[in-house]
Amino acid sequence: MLWAFYHESAHTMMSTKNVLLCVTQIVHRVTCALIVLVHVSLSIAAVPGQQVVDADNWYTIDTIQAAVFTPEGTHIITLSDVTRPNLAGVIRTLDEMVFEVLVYLDAKKFKALPDEHALDKYLASIQRANNLTREDLKRMFASAGYSYEEGREQLKMMQAVNSMISQRVRSGLIVPRKDVVAYYESHPETEQAQVRIEHALVPFSATQSKEAQKAALMKHIKTGIAPVTITWESPFWVKPSEVAVDKQFIFSMKAGQVCMPIETDAGFELYRIVEKKDERVKTLDERYQDIVDKLIEPQYYKMLGRYKDGLFKEASIVYF
pLDDT of residue 12: 37
Tell me: do 309 and 258 sit in the same domain: no
In a domain, 147, yes or no: yes
Tell me: do 165 and 198 sit in the same domain: no
Tell me: do 254 and 169 sit in the same domain: no
| Amino acid sitting at position 154 | Q
In a domain, 252, yes or no: yes
Strand order in the sheet with 194-203: 236-238, 194-203, 267-277, 262-263
**What is the pTM for the complete model shown?**
0.66
pLDDT in tens, 14-55: 443 344 344 445 444 443 444 444 443 334 444 455 555 555
**What domain range includes position 226?**
191-280
In a domain, 248, yes or no: yes
> For 251-260, what is the mean pLDDT?
94
pLDDT of residue 42: 39
Higher pLDDT, 25 or 273: 273
pLDDT in tens, 153-211: 999 999 999 999 999 999 999 999 999 999 999 999 999 999 999 999 999 999 999 99
Q: What percent of the chain has pLDDT over 70?
A: 82
User: Which are the contacts of 42, defined by CB distance < 8 A and separation ≥ 6?
Assistant: 51, 52, 53, 54, 57
Tell me: do 145 and 229 sit in the same domain: no
Tell me: do 144 and 226 sit in the same domain: no
In a domain, 224, yes or no: yes
pLDDT of residue 19: 45
pLDDT of residue 90: 93
In a domain, 179, yes or no: no
- Expressed in angstroms, the distance from the first to the final Cα of the chain is 11
Domain with residue 30: its CATH number is: 1.10.4030
In a domain, 183, yes or no: no
Instruction: For the chain, give the mean pLDDT.
Output: 85
Alpha-carbon dihedral 92, 94, 100, 101, rounded to 10 degrees: 140
pLDDT of residue 17: 37
In a domain, 185, yes or no: no
pLDDT of residue 11: 36
Tell me: do 39 and 151 sit in the same domain: yes
Lowest mean per-residue pLDDT among 37-51, 95-109, 135-149: 37-51
pLDDT of residue 256: 94
Tell me: do 26 and 119 sit in the same domain: yes
- Three-class secondary structure of residue 37 per DSSP: strand
Question: How many structural domains compose the chain?
Answer: 2
